[in-house]
């Protein structure tokens, strides 16, 4: 379906209809009801790229189960949990904003996008078991993770996730569980936020419309927009532009020619999943189970066995398997995306990063070309009785990892999502990796602070933001914030229908 509503000379143009632009659009309109906002999406339907349900794992990343967020033993010999605390805190902003979206009628039915699914970490072998125990001890001491449970008992693990134990012999195993985990359909969420935005006075969205260029003229951005249906290109203007175009962000940033984008490069990593929808198997597993990263794998390739709930149907998903690609977008990307993104200002960083990451490139190539038997071997480390006949391989989304000049020695695959804002605050761009979607409200709050900070200083603006994200100006990680965190978390879960 091709939707097309046009607002001429809006205050804000959002490029892309994934979770990032969708969140910024809804948040800004709720913050400043008089704002005029136009969103352009190049595919015919909303949120069909990285945010689309089957293109990501739908884990509401809260730092609970992902072992890659607690990677090192610190100087005292204990696991360092600072990253997990940070992600949990950021996810609280999303929970609060999504709860607000449901309470205020922006979204009618929370279960259309979020469902409760316990989060487990699962390890095998004595070394991994010792690591998980140390991690558990550290995490349990923080109020964020006080509900965490730990066990080495097979019967308990069987009770938590029967598929993990069936057919497994002798090796020591251990697991942690937190009941308050979630599965999120970020595509469904983004779609509903954009549709709400489109119904607001002075706002519109147009699918099948690709932004092909942007130029700064005095204090205004002039955008060239191509309409796929008519084949025409037209211009629109706005004082503020947000590039939430996923893999399409880097090329647009390069076109805009802003100095902040100089030297930036992108490195795409594709993915694949194994999916099972056989009811008798699906019914046996209600959990998101994360293991440890295998050897040279990038942190994003940590294997996990997930319950997914998409459009009301439950399925199991395992992966991701990384895949070599030179496309920046799954649907509308081209193999020339990577070579065409190479510029004199990023060539050196790209070469340097390439030389430092030969094992990664080899890994991506090996992953993408491996046989179904080898893929099943990975799955069987989690679910020993898994049978090839019950699983099929599908493509996941593409992540374009940002490469910055100073990344040369550090390696390219790192956590987080990069927000880049021009000095005059007229343009913000998002270059990103995981845990982007889960912490989208926190990331967008950062954009609002940087580019619309004056609104937050007014009484009305502050109150509106407090209604959306009550703890936006409070540090919930501090011990004295524990009672406030408990209350806000309970309220958000209640709004989201999660007991």
Question: Which spans of this chain sit near ligand FAD (rule: CB under 6 A)?
Answer: 15-21, 40-43, 47-51, 55-59, 61, 186, 210-211, 244-246, 248, 252, 271, 320, 332, 396-399, 430, 432, 434-438
Q: CA nearest 468: which of 27, 113, 109, 89?
A: 27
Residue nearer to ligand FAD on the CB measure, 183 or 407: 183
Yes or no: say if 276 and 282 are a contact pair by the CB < 8 Å rule: yes
Residue nearer to ligand FAD on the CB measure, 118 or 271: 271
DSSP state letters, 59-121: B---SSS-GGGS--B-TTSSB--HHHHHHHHHHHHHHHHHHHHHHTTSSS-GGGTEEE--EEE
Residue nearer to ligand FAD on the CB measure, 41 or 407: 41
Give me the torsion for CA of 471, 56, 47, 209, rounded to 10°.
Answer: 120
Residue nearer to ligand FAD on the CB measure, 62 or 468: 62
Q: How far is the CB of 337 from ligand FAD (least distance, A)?
A: 11
Q: How far is the CB of 279 from ligand FAD (least distance, A)?
A: 24
Residue nearer to ligand FAD on the CB measure, 124 or 290: 290
Residue nearer to ligand FAD on the CB measure, 291 or 435: 435
The long-range contacts involving 385-388, CB below 8 angstroms and separated by at least 24 positions, are 385/163, 385/166, 385/167, 386/163
Residue nearer to ligand FAD on the CB measure, 57 or 157: 57
Q: How far is the CB of 16 from ligand FAD (least distance, A)?
A: 3
Yes or no: say if 171 and 124 are a contact pair by the CB < 8 Å rule: yes
Residue nearer to ligand FAD on the CB measure, 349 or 434: 434
Q: How far is the CB of 310 from ligand FAD (least distance, A)?
A: 13
| Residue 468, token pair as written in the block | 């959306």
Q: How far is the CB of 205 from ligand FAD (least distance, A)?
A: 11
Residue nearer to ligand FAD on the CB measure, 204 or 397: 397
22 alpha carbon, distance to own chain's centre: 13
Q: How far is the CB of 457 from ligand FAD (least distance, A)?
A: 28
Q: How far is the CB of 4 from ligand FAD (least distance, A)?
A: 13
CA atoms of 499 and 483, how far apart (whole Å): 18
Q: How far is the CB of 396 from ligand FAD (least distance, A)?
A: 4
Q: How far is the CB of 393 from ligand FAD (least distance, A)?
A: 13
In the sheet where 240-243 sits, what is the strand order?
203-206, 37-40, 12-15, 240-243, 427-432, 417-421
Q: Please, which residues have CB within 8 angstroms of residue 224's CB and are 6 or more apart in sequence?
A: 211, 212, 213, 214, 233, 234, 235
Yes or no: say if 221 and 13 are a contact pair by the CB < 8 Å rule: yes
Tokens 């990285």 belong to: 50
Cα–Cα distances in angstroms (integers) from residue 257 to residues 7, 13, 252, 264, 488, in the given order: 25, 18, 9, 11, 43
């Amino acid at each position: 379906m091709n939707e097309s509503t046009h607002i001429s000379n809006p205050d804000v143009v959002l490029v892309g209809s994934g979770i990032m632009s969708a969140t910024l659009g809804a948040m800004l309109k709720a913050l400043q009801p008089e704002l005029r906002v136009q969103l352009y999406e190049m595919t015919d339907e909303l949120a069909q790229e990285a945010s689309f349900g089957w293109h990501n794992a739908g884990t509401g990343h809260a730092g609970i189960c992902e072992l890659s967020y607690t990677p090192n033993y610190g100087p005292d010999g204990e696991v360092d949990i600072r990253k997990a605390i940070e992600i949990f805190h950021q996810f609280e902003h999303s929970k609060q904003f999504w709860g607000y979206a449901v309470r205020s009628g922006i979204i009618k039915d929370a279960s259309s996008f979020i469902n409760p699914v316990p989060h487990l970490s699962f390890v095998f072998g004595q070394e991994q078991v010792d690591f998980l125990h140390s991690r558990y001890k550290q995490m349990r001491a923080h109020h964020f993770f006080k509900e965490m449970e730990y066990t080495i008992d097979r019967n308990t693990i069987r009770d938590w996730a029967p598929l993990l134990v069936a057919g497994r012999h002798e090796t020591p195993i251990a697991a942690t569980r937190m009941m308050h985990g979630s599965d999120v359909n970020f595509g469904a969420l983004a779609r509903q936020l954009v549709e709400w935005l489109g119904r607001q006075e002075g706002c519109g969205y147009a699918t099948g419309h690709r932004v092909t260029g942007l130029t700064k003229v005095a204090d205004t951005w002039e955008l060239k927009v191509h309409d796929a249906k008519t084949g025409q290109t037209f211009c629109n203007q706005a004082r503020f532009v947000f590039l939430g175009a996923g893999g399409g962000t880097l090329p647009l940033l390069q076109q805009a020619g802003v100095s902040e984008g100089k030297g930036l490069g992108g490195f795409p990593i594709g993915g694949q999943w194994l999916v099972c929808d056989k009811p008798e198997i699906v019914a046996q597993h209600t959990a998101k189970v994360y293991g440890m990263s295998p050897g040279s794998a990038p942190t994003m390739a940590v294997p996990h066995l997930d319950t997914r709930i998409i459009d009301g149907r439950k399925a199991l998903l395992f992966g991701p398997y990384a895949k070599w690609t030179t496309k920046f977008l799954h649907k509308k990307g081209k193999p020339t995306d990577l070579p065409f993104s190479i510029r004199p200002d990023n060539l050196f960083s790209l070469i340097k990063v390439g030389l430092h990451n030969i094992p990664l490139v080899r890994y991506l190539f090996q992953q993408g070309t491996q046989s179904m038997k080898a893929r099943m071997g990975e799955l069987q480390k989690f679910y020993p009785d898994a049978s090839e006949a019950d699983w099929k391989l599908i493509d996941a989304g593409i992540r374009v990892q940002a490469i910055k000049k100073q990344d040369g020695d550090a390696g390219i695959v790192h956590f987080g999502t990069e927000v880049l804002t021009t000095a005059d605050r007229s343009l913000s761009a998002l270059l990103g990796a995981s845990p982007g979607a889960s912490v989208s409200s926190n990331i967008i709050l950062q954009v609002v602070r940087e580019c619309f900070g004056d609104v937050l200083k007014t009484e009305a603006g502050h109150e509106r933001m407090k209604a959306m994200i009550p703890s936006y100006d409070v540090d919930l990680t501090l011990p004295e914030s524990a009672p406030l965190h408990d209350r806000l978390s309970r309220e958000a879960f209640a709004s989201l229908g999660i007991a």
